Amino acid sequence: MTPSPRCEPTRSRTGEPVRHLRRSANSASVRARERSEHLRTAERFARRSRRAARPAAGGPVSFDVVVAADLDWGIGKDQSLPWPKLRGDLRHFKRITSTTETKGRRNAIVMGRKTWQSKEVGECPLPDRLNVVVSRSALAVPAGVVLAHSIDEALAAAAAHDVESIFIVGGAGLLVDALEHPELRYVYLTRIDGHYDCEIKMPDLDARGFVRVAWEGEQSGEEHGVRYRIERLRR
Ligand SMILES: NC(=O)c1ccc[n+]([C@@H]2O[C@H](COP(=O)([O-])OP(=O)(O)OC[C@H]3O[C@@H](n4cnc5c(N)ncnc54)[C@H](OP(=O)(O)O)[C@@H]3O)[C@@H](O)[C@H]2O)c1
């Protein structure tokens, strides 16, 4: 495992992968305001949502999926996201994957090799979470990042690191298997209200019997003329 020269501190501090990564130049003041408006409530939602997700020692390891998809279940294009940056969704992603109930613990995010290499992630681990990359090959990853060769190996590796919760964050290659997995708990879905020119599509959750379940963290937003809704689903 070798440190990636692309993950120098300047970049990794601002680097928040996939739909979580990018921030504007005046982000400091905007972030401060957002924190005062949203943070306490939303973190409470995130903690509550997750109480049952802790890996049981030696037992099956449950996980959640976090993903954003358009109305045709499109999720990616050109190794990136097909829609403009949606700050509300980026906040949601960061919050749900980072918040822990116990101080000093952290969560794990599990991603496919192409998502790891996508423009947003750029092979730089997301801060404050254990990053697990899934590939069938012997991929070189930076120190601190875990390479796994299957979803089950990724779940076991995350549990061995004593994480509090595990989130599979895409892309579609990984989701195909994750959505069939018996230990899948919830899908946190950001539904983008539009049709985008996507190369990568995830499985149709309606056709697979997933339904929306009550969740205090549900929210809607509109940015750059793009409307979206963040929901929690279960099969
Ligand atoms: N909208 C969103 O929420 C979201 C989230 C994440 C990503 N994305 C977008 O989605 C695109 C990338 O997704 P993708 O579907 O092309 O690729 P991906 O799922 O990120 O990666 C696919 C690769 O992961 C490995 N892999 C997948 N399933 C595996 C399994 N069960 N066991 C072992 N290895 C497995 C394989 O790597 P090897 O080929 O190395 O064996 C496979 O080629 C990008 O455009 C990205 O921006 C969007």
Give per-residue pLDDT as tens, 180-233: 999 999 999 999 999 999 999 999 999 999 999 999 999 999 999 999 999 999
Residue in the structure block whose two tokens are 């929210």: 219
Task: Provide the 3-class DSSP secondary structure of residue 213.
Answer: coil
Distance (Å, whole) CA 149 – CA 153: 6
Ligand 1 touching residue 192 (CB < 6 A): no
Evaluate if residue 21 carries a pLDDT over 80.
no
How do strand 166-168 and strand 63-69 relate by DSSP bridges? parallel
Residue type, 132: V
Q: With b meaning 16 or more CB within 10 Å and e meaning fewer, what string describes 68-93?
A: bbbeebbbbeebebbbebbbbbbbbb
Confidence of residue 60 (pLDDT cuts 50, 70, 90): confident
Residue 225's CATH number: 3.40.430.10
Evaluate if residue 53 carries a pLDDT over 90.
no
Closest C-alpha among 64, 66, 55 to residue 89: 66
Ligand 1 pocket mutation pick from 66, 72, 136 by most atoms within 8 angstroms of CB: 136
If 0-12 CB within 10 Å is exposed, 13-18 middle and 19+ buried, where does residue 194 land? middle
Closest C-alpha among 173, 178, 157 to residue 76: 173
Distance (Å, whole) CA 221 – CA 45: 17
Chain centre distance of CA 84: 17
Q: Largest alpha-carbon pair distance within the chain?
A: 47
Confidence of residue 128 (pLDDT cuts 50, 70, 90): very high
Residue-number span of the structural domain to which 158 is assigned: 5-234
Evaluate if residue 41 carries a pLDDT over 60.
no
What is the 3-state composition of the chain as percent helix, strand, coil, each rounded to the nearest 5?
Answer: 30, 25, 45
Q: How far is the CA of 98 from the centre of ligand 1 (A)?
A: 21
Number of domains in the chain: 1
Task: Provide the 3-class DSSP secondary structure of residue 28.
Answer: helix
**pLDDT for residue 44:** 57
How do strand 107-112 and strand 166-168 relate by DSSP bridges? parallel
Is the N-terminal amide bond of 74 cis, ω within 30° of 0? no
Confidence of residue 57 (pLDDT cuts 50, 70, 90): low
**pLDDT for residue 24:** 41
Evaluate if residue 6 carries a pLDDT over 70.
no
Digit-coded pLDDT (tens) for 209-219: 999 999 999 99
**pLDDT for residue 186:** 98
**Ligand 1, closest atom to CA 116?**
20
Ligand 1 touching residue 117 (CB < 6 A): no
Q: How far is the CA of 118 from the centre of ligand 1 (A)?
A: 9
Distance (Å, whole) CA 187 – CA 205: 9
Distance (Å, whole) CA 127 – CA 15: 8
Give me the residues paired with residue 109 across strands: 131, 167
Q: What is the mean pLDDT of the chain?
A: 85
If 0-12 CB within 10 Å is exposed, 13-18 middle and 19+ buried, where does residue 25 land? exposed
Evaluate if residue 73 carries a pLDDT over 60.
yes
